[in-house]
Amino acid sequence: MEILDGRALSSEIKARCKEDVAKLKERGITPGLAVILVGDDPASHTYVAMKEKSCKEVGIYSIVHKMPEDISQDKILETIEMMNQNPNIDGILLQLPLPEHINTQKLLSAIDPQKDVDGFHPTNVGKLVLGLDAFAPCTPLGVMELLKKYDIDPKGKDVCVVGASNIVGKPMMNLLLNANATVDICHIYTKDLAAHTRDADMVIVGVGKIGLITADMVKDGAIVIDIGINKTEDGKIVGDVAYEEVSKKCSYITPVPGGVGPMTIAMLMQNTVKSAKRRVDA
């Protein structure tokens, strides 16, 4: 069994981004990332702080628009439009989840697709489905980079994706299809989850349920990618996979923490630099 080390690869990718940023600055361009943070959700504030730290590491200009929980949707739209028009901003990130009174899809659709470094705008979603060049959501893109790093080719593999969210499951499915995998996608209404995971060459899970995938649900030698991030009652961070028992059966596995998580922020840095490079070529 080999562990897929997301921390190490994340550091490599951020180092490459730092080199690219230095070259862009020589040409008079500093990549810029704007984050919109609404409310006081502790997890969201933690994620945004981590993103700010990574921007500083690689040399990306970063600004965070912090807004109160009860802010109006129109006020957020005004900020998004301001960032759309700002020539020094290459990426706009709307930190999710948003308060219930906000129409999340309307706000995501208001972001300029050329600055949609999270890959959630309908234009980028459609391009991803068609296999065209687009910004892909950072978490599933990070999974693909991990597979590439460890020479795991999805082509021809039977892959079971557990979780069908717009943020992870659906784009994960499309990235795998574009890589010529055979994809089976499961969700909360799937009748017999184990019947789908048991025969898969690769199981990718991201639903937020501790210990969902157990050893009897994966075949010997399977590749297991755990995207889930959960906190136990004693404060320990764990994934959706029963790691100790599953790791004894699989060929590759991602740890939690230290697997897919660090890759998400690395991909955000990479997408922001990609957007800035487009500004150079415009």
User: What is the SS3 assignment for 252?
Assistant: strand
φ, ψ (nearest 5 deg) of residue 60 = -85, 135
Decide: 161 and 169 in contact? Cβ < 8 Å. yes
- Please count the residues of the chain: 282
Pick from 271, 269, 276: nearest CA to 18: 269
Q: Which of 20, 90, 95, 270 is catalytic?
A: 95
Find the distance separating the first CA and the last CA of the chain, reported in whole Å: 46
Which one-letter DSSP state was computed for residue 136?
Answer: P
What's the rounded Cα separation, in Å, for the pair 104 and 166?
A: 12
Q: Catalytic site residue 151? A: no
Question: DSSP labels for 177-192?
Answer: HHTT-EEEEE-TT-S-
> Which among 14, 20, 51, 157 is annotated as catalytic?
51
d(CA 153, CA 16): 23
Q: Are 124 and 98 in contact (CB under 8 A)?
A: no
Contact 205, 172 (CB under 8 A): no
Element (H, E) at 233: none
The DSSP H or E segment spanning 134 is none
220 catalytic residue (yes or no): no
248 given a catalytic annotation: no
- Write down the catalytic residue from 118, 201, 226, 240: 118
- Report, as residue numbers or ranges, the catalytic residues: 51, 95, 118
